[in-house]
């Protein structure tokens, strides 16, 4: 062993040079292998960064958290048609498309709903939606139709039959396809378009029912998010400033535990909401959210032993850069002996312009 180390010491420089050459060889092999692996990653069908499944209205969401898309129009009569899109790119980057030889596939559904007590229900729901509302909905013209895939014409493998939404049943457009770019062309442009028709009732002045259209797009590719929203239409106020209060639910239904009172309009000023506290209470959450806690005034008891209360709400001011044009106030029943045949007898709304 001593003789071995003696020889090793004698030829130490030679040993060191051999080891160095072997080390460089191993490094080159590793570097060469890594370089080949990197090239394979670059040419693979890897999706670009970003969510390559989007819409002009729908957002990534879950069953328990669906956003509302509020649409407005100055149109005052007739049907209103809104073009809903489903795209194979992020809305912020339309040039970066979903990569697939056959295109992007998804299912689209649409359903007519109403909002009651803060919850959304299909108008076909016999448990939570009254017969009057269901009957009214059945006579409306809410509908949805596939229109175009952004190509050179409207023909495609997607069914373009108009579907009525009036009965509240879920309308399905299965196996929808966004066609990929062809031969380097910018067409098709990665956008499928659907015409969503709102009934003329939505443009009137005295709606007693607030309809919402629930739309959902579910991609076949599990790596992409499901998109959904509730579409809601109102007519923009273009006349002189005015605010009004109305009940969202139809009156004359004593089975409700609570009601939604809508305060909406335009113009800067104050809105005074006055209610009969012997029959209804207002939401403490609403008061807190609008800085009204401690601002409720109680009037003297009237000749019928009713106690009226009121608050004054400043309207028309900007909040975080946005002028609020709609408030939802929850009303709660507090008199079990009253049939509540007309809740509007117990609340009023008065607007005074600045």
pLDDT at 188 (0 to 100): 65
Q: How far apart are CA 352 and CA 344, in angstroms?
A: 20
pLDDT > 70 fraction of the chain, expressed in percent and rounded: 75
- Quick: pLDDT tens for 6-42: 555 555 555 545 455 455 444 443 333 333 222 222 3
pLDDT at 183 (0 to 100): 66
Q: Is the pLDDT of residue 162 over 50?
A: yes
Q: In this predicted model, which residue has the larger pLDDT, 305 or 253?
A: 305
- Quick: pLDDT tens for 181-237: 776 666 667 889 999 999 988 887 767 788 999 999 999 999 999 999 999 988 765
Cβ neighbors of 22 (< 8 A, separation 6 or more) are none
- Quick: pLDDT tens for 32-66: 333 322 222 233 333 444 589 999 889 998 888 89
List the domain boundaries for the chain: 59-235, 242-353
pLDDT at 236 (0 to 100): 65
pLDDT at 257 (0 to 100): 66
Q: Do domains 59-235 and 242-353 have the same CATH topology?
A: yes
Q: If one looks up domain 242-353 in CATH, what number appears?
A: 2.60.40
Q: How far apart are CA 291 and CA 270, in angstroms?
A: 14
Q: In this predicted model, which residue has the larger pLDDT, 60 or 117?
A: 60
CATH 1.20.58 fits 59-235, yes or no: no
Is residue 276 very low, low, confident or very high in pLDDT (cuts 50, 70, 90)?
very high
Q: In this predicted model, which residue has the larger pLDDT, 225 or 259?
A: 225
Q: Transcribe 79-134 into DSSP letters.
A: -EEEEEEEESSBTTBTTS----SS-EEEEEEEEEEEEETTEEEETT-TTTS-HHHH
């Amino acid at each position: 062993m001593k003789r071995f180390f003696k020889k090793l010491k004698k030829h130490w420089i030679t040993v060191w040079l051999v080891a160095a050459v072997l080390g460089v060889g191993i490094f080159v092999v590793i570097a060469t292998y890594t370089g080949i692996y990197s090239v394979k990653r670059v040419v693979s069908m890897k999706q670009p960064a970003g969510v390559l499944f989007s819409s002009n209205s729908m957002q990534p969401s879950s069953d328990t958290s669906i956003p509302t898309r509020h649409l407005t129009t100055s149109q005052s009569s007739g049907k209103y048609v809104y073009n809903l899109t489903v795209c194979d790119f992020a809305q912020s980057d339309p040039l970066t498309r979903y990569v697939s030889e056959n295109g992007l596939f998804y299912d689209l559904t649409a359903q007519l709903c109403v909002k009651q007590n803060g919850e959304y229900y299909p108008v076909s729901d016999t448990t939570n939606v009254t017969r009057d509302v269901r009957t009214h909905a059945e006579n409306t013209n809410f509908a949805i139709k596939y229109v175009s895939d952004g190509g050179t014409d409207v023909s495609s493998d997607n069914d373009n039959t108009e579907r009525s939404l009036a009965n509240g049943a879920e309308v399905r457009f299965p196996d929808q396809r966004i066609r990929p770019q062809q031969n380097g062309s910018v067409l098709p442009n990665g956008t499928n378009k659907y015409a969503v028709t709102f009934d003329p009732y939505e443009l009137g002045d005295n709606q007693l029912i607030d309809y919402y259209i629930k739309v959902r797009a579910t991609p076949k590719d599990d790596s992409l998010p499901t998109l959904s929203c509730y579409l809601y239409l109102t007519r923009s106020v273009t006349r002189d400033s005015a605010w009004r209060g109305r009940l969202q639910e139809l009156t004359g239904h004593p089975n409700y535990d609570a009601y939604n009172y809508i305060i909406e309009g335009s113009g800067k000023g104050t809105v005074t909401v006055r209610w009969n506290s012997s029959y209804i209470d207002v939401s403490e959450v609403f008061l807190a959210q609008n800085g009204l806690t401690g601002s409720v005034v109680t009037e003297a008891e009237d000749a019928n032993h009713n106690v009226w209360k009121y608050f004054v709400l400043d309207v028309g001011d900007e909040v975080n850069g946005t002028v609020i044009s709609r408030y939802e106030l929850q009303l709660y029943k507090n008199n079990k002996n009253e049939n509540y045949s007309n809740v509007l007898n117990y609340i009023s709304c008065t607007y005074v312009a600045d």
